[in-house]
Amino acid sequence: MKSLARRGAEVRLAELNEEIKAIYAAFPDLRRGAPPAASRRRRKPMSASQKKAVSARMKKYWAERRKATK
């Protein structure tokens, strides 16, 4: 039984290889693999003064949120 399953698997593998060859013949650009991932945009680093400004803004924001919930 196992030998029959192996033979069936070999035949299916041969069919798949033929199908892959046909696909590559129709679309040769697929051989290059996956398209390169889109480059991620990076943020510019913040200066110390910008960080300080953000910190002050967020402290004010959270103070107002705490005041509103009371």
pLDDT tens per residue, range 18-66: 999 999 999 888 887 766 667 788 889 999 999 999 999 999 999 999 9
Query: d(Cα 16, Cα 9) in Å, to the nearest integer?
Result: 10
Q: What is the pLDDT of residue 49?
A: 97
Name the H helices within 1-70.
2-26, 48-69
Check residue 69 and give its pLDDT. Answer: 85
Residue 3: band (very low, low, confident or very high) from pLDDT cuts 50, 70, 90: very high
pLDDT at residue number 33: 72
Return d(Cα 43, Cα 51) in angstroms, integer.
13
- pLDDT of 32: 78
